[in-house]
Copies of this chain bind each other. A is one copy, B any other.
Amino acid sequence: MSTGLPMVVRDPALPARVRVHEVGARDGLQNESGLVPVDVKAEFVTRLAAAGLTTIEATSFVHPKWVPQLADAEELFPRVRDALPGVRLPVLVPNERGLDRALALGAREVAVFASATESFARANLNRTVDESLAMFAPVVSRAVEHGLTVRGYLSMCFGDPWEGAVPVEQVVAVCRRLADMGCDELSLGDTIGVATPGHVSALLTALEQAGIGSGRLAVHFHDTYGQALANTLAALRHGVSTVDASAGGLGGCPYAKSATGNLATEDLVWMLHGLGIETGIDLGLLTATSAWMAGHLGRPSPSRTVRALAGAAASHKES
């Protein structure tokens, strides 16, 4: 690939800088069927930081029975925490027991995960939306007391496999409760990837009207229907400047019947850099990291940018 690509053309209506919230090590690897050795995970996180990612969701303090892929959290977290003092390393905590584990290991940022729909709250948390928020309330308040930064994930913000389209007002109402509870940031998840840019714009407008502005919001799009990057562009137009993405598109298997891949960080960074938006990320180092991880997982990265650039690099080596 020639240098000078993508050509940079700024759009003054978009943020000058975007912070990528990297979820590959947690959201990505928790969906892998095989277990990834803790050494590989630690190297993955370390390499992501070396590529310029400043916020890397490291792991999850859920019960190993539910997510055996992340059962090594107690071993992994201290290693990356000590190796990467300047990097934000949020961890997922489902309940007070999870928060205790995170606090014991010196985590400075935690995330809780709620659902905008009753069906998914039932399926994922075995609770109603009210019951799950009641479970999170003491987690958030205790985390805030300890001076931690708290993120609230909200799943199914656009569509739900059982309920179909999710009304914007319903999402705003749950966001309001998470914000009032003390969450510093809300990550709006399109868990099944069905959103389109007008819908994204409508939700962000409604949230702004409810007093939850773009500065407190992150977007978390899935590429199930190929919409993630177009939806991100719509969110940037609303001033959102924190975008969740997964290195190499890790998370869910894009080759399975029900493709549920996260937006690939590399595809996102290609667009952001073309738009002249600063990320601090070195795309070459990031791509090499994802190609390396794809090798460990034994299958090609679903990221189109990784395939294009890693392919180009391989061709270059051969020639």
Instruction: Please give the residue numbers on chain A whose beta carbons come within 8 Å of chain B beta carbons, in ascending order.
Output: 1-11, 158-166, 193-199, 201-202, 223-227, 229-230, 232-234, 254-259, 261, 264, 267, 270-271, 273-276, 300, 303-305, 307-308, 311-312, 314-315
Check B4–A304 contact: CB distance below 8 A: no
Q: Interface on chain A toward B: helix, strand, loop, or mixed SS?
A: loop
Check A201–B11 contact: CB distance below 8 A: yes
Residue of B nearest to A304 (CB): B226
Inter-chain CA distance A4–B192, complex, in Å, is 14
Contacts of A195 in B (CB 8 A): 6-7, 274
Residue of B nearest to A318 (CB): B257
Check B315–A274 contact: CB distance below 8 A: no
Q: Count copies of this chain in the complex.
A: 2
Check B230–A199 contact: CB distance below 8 A: no
Contacts of A300 in B (CB 8 A): 255
Residue of B nearest to A269 (CB): B225
Contact of A259 among B4, B7, B225, B308 (CB under 8 A): B308
* Minimal beta-carbon separation of A59 from chain B (angstroms): 27
Check A5–B232 contact: CB distance below 8 A: no
* Minimal beta-carbon separation of A56 from chain B (angstroms): 21
Check B5–A271 contact: CB distance below 8 A: no
Contact of A2 among B10, B160, B224, B312 (CB under 8 A): B160
Q: A233-B234, A311-B259 are in contact. Are A6 and B164 (CB under 8 A)?
A: no
Check A196–B6 contact: CB distance below 8 A: yes
Inter-chain CA distance A230–B305, complex, in Å, is 14
Check B194–A264 contact: CB distance below 8 A: no
Q: A165-B4, A223-B304, A229-B227 are in contact. Are A315 and B257 (CB under 8 A)?
A: yes
Contacts of A163 in B (CB 8 A): 2
Check A6–B199 contact: CB distance below 8 A: yes
